[in-house]
Amino acid sequence: MNRVILFAIFSVYLSLSGACSKDNIAVDSSKLQQPTIEPAKKPTEKEIQSALDWLSRHQEKDGHWSAGSFQMQCVDSICSGEGPLEFDAAVSGLALLAFLGAGYTSTDEPIKKAVEWLISQQGIDGCIGRVGGKYIYNHAIATFALAEAYKKAKDVRCEKPLGKAIKYLIDAQNNNMAWRYSYRPGDNDTSVTGWCTLALKSGELAGVKVPPKCYGGALSWIKMVTDENNNYRVGYTAKGTGKVAVRGVNDSWADHDALTAIGMVVRMLIERKKDAKALKGGAERLTGSYTTNILTGSYTKNIPKWYNDDPNGKQIDYYNWFWGTLALYRYDGSSGEYWQKWSIALKDALAPHQEKEGCLAGSWSPEVDRWGFEGGRVYATAINTLTLEIYYGHNLLSGEVVTAGEYLADYDKVIQLNPNDVEAYCNRAIARYEFGDYAGALVDFSKAIQLNPNYAEAYCKRGNANRELGRYKDAITDYSKAIQLKPDYADAYYERGAAKEGGLDYEGAIDDLEKAIELNSPYEDELQLKIDKLREQVK
């Protein structure tokens, strides 16, 4: 099956009409593609149209939107809600995505000018918006927007800048893991990783090659910070991370599960299957449909609610609503039980509270929002517009959920053309492993090793397949060979320790896990917890 088809993105299905101008923003229905899945609901024109009108009126002459100085575009009265200037590239990317979601093309003025500005902000290294200490947010969102503009708006100006931007994003990834605020900082976080994954997937759909290891690192991170014992809650910078807040600024808000939603989206984009327990657990968390132990966890009210007087914390959280909407619509479709609970509450929360009067009309207030201080009114309006577009059927980066056979067909073709392609066997083995076909993965990893007997990573991954099949001795043999080939291979020590634990060799497991820590494994905190528990077993 063609890879583009497998990863196809569904377009927004809005039935808006009218002329495209700064004074009367509306969408020409002739620009809209036919849906390949049913839209969630028939759209209500005024919400999207009014939001795009506000964004159009506050776009700078050079094409960007400014989080901090958008008020210079106000007429008659000044809109409140400025944010920091360092995120201008990010909020410009979000605003551009909102117009693209409504069917605009490269000939339409808002998109034409916005694309020009984003390209002008790219450095010679490919980074877009290197401002402040959290510039990967700027770069990832801007890259995502350029990729969508290239695909949806057929904007050829984006081709070369997009290639450079994707390359920078690949290079900025921490070794075998995920992303954080800057270039290879060593630590990772789930929020930034979510945007980076969206950008890479969109870039891949636009024709830019993305190495499988980039997705492997992102998926490994999400799995590492997912707490299976707490209804698959996803952490921020580690498993079990508490509430994320800026002290004295937004710590009065409730702790929502935007990160769990991001984890769901990353899993679905990379694994493209719905049967993972983590997805169902995440859907239950987001809709409140789960039982929590009062001694070990806390109930989180994630369902959208325009209410900031809750004794458990303020509830208005646009970021949570965006990622939750994206995750649940992709997971559940327009008729699923989780989506129904979420979508009704979402519409009731957002639609009535869109500004109706004066220069503010069409926007949403950032002052009442958990993260509004970071991006201001432009951020609030752009991200809520995107959320409503998903609600109406535009599921960002939503491709088919494919069967294992369909997914593996691509690798089958590569191997048929080149039976000695080591990477193709290894990648097909990884795919089989992710779909739970451990025996099939074992066969492909073995073939890769036959073709390249010095492939340490293939030995390590074959060890994982053996371990899943309960073959602990074979797994230990594979990990040991990987270590022989690559003595500083922290992951192999980590996995061999897990295999020894499975074989009840607790002291041997402790030795290997300690060695992994010594070799600077990124899982140090988790490994230390395992070591402590194993020592209890030894006693």
DSSP state of 122: B
Same domain for 191 and 280? yes
Residues 365 and 482 in one domain: no
Inter-residue contact 46 to 330 (CB < 8 Å):
no
User: Does 422 fall in a domain?
Assistant: no
* 8 and 107 share one domain: yes
HEC string of 102-114 equals CCCCCCCHHHHHH
Indicate whether 380 and 458 sit together in one domain: no
Range of the domain at 483: 454-538
Asked if residue 403 belongs to a domain, the reply is no
Chain-centroid distance of CA 465 in Å reads 27
User: Could you tell me if 269 and 122 lie in one domain?
Assistant: yes
411 within domain boundaries: no
Report the half-sphere exposure of 527 (CA within 13 A, side-chain side). 24
**DSSP conformation class of 52:** H
Query: Are both 480 and 386 inside the same structural domain?
Result: no
User: What's at 388, amino acid-wise?
Assistant: L
Q: Is residue 308 part of a domain?
A: yes
Task: Cite the beta strand spans of 155-308 per DSSP E.
Answer: 226-227, 233-234
Q: Which of 391, 415, 443 is the last residue of a domain?
A: 391
Q: Residue 226 in contact with residue 233, Cβ under 8 Å? A: yes
Q: What pLDDT score was predicted for residue 402? A: 44
In a domain, 14, yes or no: yes
- Please give the chain's pLDDT, 539 residues, in tens: 333 333 232 232 222 222 223 333 332 323 323 223 333 343 445 899 999 999 999 999 999 999 999 999 999 899 999 999 999 999 999 999 999 988 888 888 999 999 999 999 999 999 999 999 999 999 999 999 999 999 887 788 999 999 999 999 999 999 879 999 999 999 999 999 999 999 999 998 888 888 888 888 999 999 999 999 888 999 999 999 989 999 999 999 999 999 999 999 999 988 877 767 899 999 999 998 554 444 444 445 789 999 999 888 899 999 999 999 999 998 888 888 999 999 999 999 999 999 999 999 999 999 999 999 999 999 999 999 999 998 876 646 544 444 455 557 777 888 889 999 998 898 888 878 766 678 889 999 999 999 999 999 999 999 999 998 889 999 999 999 999 999 999 989 999 998 999 889 999 999 999 999 999 876 677 778 889 888 988 87
pTM: 0.70
Domain final residue pick, 336, 369, 391: 391
Q: Indicate if 318 and 463 belong to the same structural domain.
A: no
Determine the pLDDT at residue 448: 94
Alpha carbons 334 and 97: distance in angstroms, whole number: 22
Assess whether 170 and 304 both reside in one domain.
yes
Which residues partner with 64 through β-bridges?
none
Q: What is the DSSP letter of 530?
A: H
- Nearest-angstrom CA–CA distance, 232 and 217: 19
Q: Is residue 377 part of a domain?
A: yes
Q: Residue 158: which of 102, 207, 195, 209 has the closest Cα? A: 207
Q: Which amino acid is at 391?
A: Y
- Per-residue pLDDT, 537: 81
Q: Are residues 383 and 482 in the same domain?
A: no
* Residue 422 and residue 451 in contact, taking contact as beta carbons nearer than 8 Å: yes
Q: State the CATH number of the domain containing residue 101.
A: 1.50.10.10
* Residue 274 included in any domain: yes
pLDDT, residue 434, reads: 67
Give the pLDDT confidence score for residue 527 in this predicted structure: 78
Residue 467 and residue 362 in one domain? no
In a domain? residue 473: yes
- Burial readout 206-237 (b: 16 or more C-beta within 10 A, e: otherwise): bebebeebbbbbbbbbbbbbbbeebbbbbbbe
CATH number at residue 521: 1.25.40.10
298 and 381 in a single domain? The answer is yes
The pLDDT value given to residue 139: 98
Query: Are 135 and 56 part of one and the same domain?
Result: yes
Query: Exposed, middle or buried by CB within 10 Å (0-12, 13-18, 19+), for 21?
Result: exposed
Up-side HSE of residue 113: CA atoms within 13 Å toward CB?
Answer: 14
What's the structural domain count of the chain?
2
Residue where a domain stops, chosen among 340, 359, 391 = 391
